[in-house]
Amino acid sequence: MTVALLSIGTELTRGEIVNTNASWLASELSASGFNVLAAEALPDDLEVVAGALKRLAQTYRLVIVTGGLGPTTDDLTAAAAARAAGVELVRDESAMLAVRRRVESFGKTMNAGLEKQADFPAGAETLPNSNGTAPGFSIQLGDTPVFFLPGVPREMKRMFTEQVLPRVRPQAPNNTFQVRLRTYGLGESSIGQALEGIEAAHPGVTLGYRIQFPEVDVKVHARATSQSTAREAAMRAAEEVKSRLGDVVYGTGDESFPEIVGRALRARGWRLAVAESCTGGLVMHLLTSFPASDYLIGGAVTYANSAKSRLLGVFEDTLRGHGAVSTEVAAEMAEGARRLCECEVALSITGIAGPTGGTATKPVGLVYWGVAHPGGTIVRDRIFVGSRDEVQLAAAYAGLDLLRRTAAGLPER
């Protein structure tokens, strides 16, 4: 069943925000067996949106629209839907009551803008929004059902899962299956080269790649006569992908890299301390995005040399002799953090994130990271290329990967 996605919002067409809704919806629909063939973004323009709705409904079997259902004057999606359907906007009293209750639960009072959220094309089916004030709705344009959801991602995702997917899933052919493999350590081109020939060896299987710097997802998608047959084909191909890439594949599905690092530390029974300089607490942020209190003891952001000495015990002679960005300082930072927190393992990162601060011998992007553990201290270095944010994120991942490999007994890449 062919699907088109339409995202409404001038902030999207101006590049002010990233359209994450379309990518999420496309992934969810594809995993459910739908064939997403188009994804468009349009500004908040009544005539433009109305015209696009009629055009897409004539071409695709299902259309899902996000955005433009809010209380402000530029939220015109409901009016555009009515224009496309050739009907009037009418106020739904039950939806108005739900909006009022929701608004009052937030300690606010109703106004004309909020009331507008209960106006729908005549004959539309309303879709309740349990996370926000703007209900969704659906209409029929010719033979094509069109669903309208809020643009706020957390509202849209829940409404799609609870309201839209149960209504449309029976129309999907249900003959596909996808395995998502999470990787870190190789670039997209290297992964693509390593996986050459897999599609030819597995009929019905296609490979897709999604870069989420510094990670790359490998999507193994299979289409067959039934979902069970497609699942078997996808799983066989995924096993070959994992065999070729080895421990570059760190997880599947929604598993995250920091979660896997934490899992390796738990399995080893190691408690962790972190000492950061150029990453400014990013490693701790990544780790504590998930429950970590059972293994993470604490950390320190020691940006200045004086902090490295006073908090971590880095020798001033080491700093003077080798500089803050050096193998020696990275080692003493890790060892100091391990000693300070009285734990089994510590990770340190020191470097030059840029865009300034580099020299001929120590350029921007140079980073050292170290792991101190019961068997000794390991320090590695690399010059990362990119913006300041990219250097910081690449450095954090490099440190976490060395930590993961050390804890799990994996060889270094």
pLDDT in tens, 173-224: 888 899 999 999 999 999 999 999 999 999 999 999 989 999 999 999 999 9
Cross-strand partners of 378: 371
Strand ranges in 102-192 using DSSP code E only, listed in sequence order: 119-121, 125-127, 136-141, 144-149, 176-184
CA–CA distance, 54 with 161 (Å, rounded to integer)? 25
**Residue 81 dihedral angles phi and psi, to the nearest 5°:** -65, -40
Class of domain 258-408: alpha beta
CATH code linked to domain 176-252: 3.30.70.2860
Would you say residue 399 has pLDDT above 90? yes
pLDDT in tens, 16-70: 999 999 999 998 998 888 999 999 999 999 999 999 999 999 999 999 999 999 9
pLDDT in tens, 100-132: 888 888 888 888 888 899 999 999 999 999 888
pLDDT in tens, 3-16: 999 999 999 999 99
CB 217: neighbour CB atoms within 10 A? Answer: 17
2-171: CATH superfamily: MoaB/Mog-like domain (3.40.980.10)
Residue 398 has a pLDDT of 98
pLDDT in tens, 223-237: 999 989 999 999 999
Would you say residue 90 has pLDDT above 90? yes
Delimit the domains of the chain by residue range: 2-171, 176-252, 258-408
Residue 104 has a pLDDT of 86
Residue 132 has a pLDDT of 86
Number of helices (H) and strands (E), helices first, in the chain?
A: 17, 17
Question: How much of the chain exceeds pLDDT 90, in percent?
Answer: 87
Would you say residue 98 has pLDDT above 90? no
pLDDT in tens, 336-360: 999 999 999 999 999 999 999 999 9
Give CA 221 to chain center in angstroms. 19
Angular region, 142: left φ>0, alpha ψ -120 to 50, beta rest: left
Mean pLDDT across the chain: 95
